[in-house]
């Protein structure tokens, strides 16, 4: 588990190194759905406190590098080529920290179709859903069974 004070100190150090004098600041937030965010309007890089406490310092640093890469690449870059180039140049290993990976790890609702495809949701779906991997469009043969898993 990461020491949040150390994570914050490291974040400030990385911001100073890669975004010197550009007025960027670090902030904690309480998101459980995304590890970090880059807010261009206010020049803030946020990291999620509830997720950071579960992760080690290395992973927290990756989250911060991911957001610094957004700040460097600009708001239009998305996760496209320009962003990837910047992210790699500052030592960000992007593939392990995408939103789908985060949902797989932390979303409380897990669904499974009869053929074993898994789905991850933050809320219990209201009506029946069928597996989009087994069949495009609704098909009652491939209904997803949802369950709530223990908080982690």
Enter the tokens of residue 137.
């469009």
5 or 76: CB nearest Zn ion: 76
12 or 143: CB nearest Zn ion: 143
Q: Using the rule CB under 5 A, is 134 a contact of Zn ion?
A: yes
- 122 secondary structure, DSSP code: S
Q: Using the rule CB under 5 A, is 145 a contact of Zn ion?
A: no
* Residue at shortest CB range from Zn ion: 131
Q: Using the rule CB under 5 A, is 113 a contact of Zn ion?
A: yes
Strand order of the β-sheet with 36-39 is 25-29, 44-48, 36-39
CA atoms within 13 A on the CB side of 97: 24
Please state the φ and ψ torsions of residue 37, each to the nearest 5 degrees.
-155, 150
Choose the stretch contacting Zn ion; rule: CB under 5 A; options: 2-10, 21-29, 41-49, 127-135.
Answer: 127-135
Interface ranges with Zn ion (CB under 5 A):
113, 115, 117, 131, 133-134
């Amino acid at each position: 588990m990461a020491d949040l004070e150390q994570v914050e100190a490291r974040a400030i150090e990385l911001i100073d190194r890669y975004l010197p004098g550009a007025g960027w600041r670090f902030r904690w937030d309480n998101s459980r759905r995304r590890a970090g965010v880059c807010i261009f309007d206010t020049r803030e890089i946020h990291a999620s406190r509830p997720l950071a406490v579960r992760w080690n310092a290395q992973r927290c640093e990756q989250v911060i590098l991911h957001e610094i890469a957004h700040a460097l690449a600009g708001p239009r870059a998305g996760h496209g080529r320009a962003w990837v180039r910047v992210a790699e140049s500052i030592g960000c290993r992007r593939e392990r920290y995408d939103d789908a990976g985060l949902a797989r790890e932390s979303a409380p609702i897990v669904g499974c179709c009869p053929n074993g495809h898994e789905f991850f949701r933050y809320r219990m779906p209201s009506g029946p859903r069928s597996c989009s991997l087994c069949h495009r469009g609704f098909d009652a043969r491939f209904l997803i069974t949802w369950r709530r898993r223990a908080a982690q």
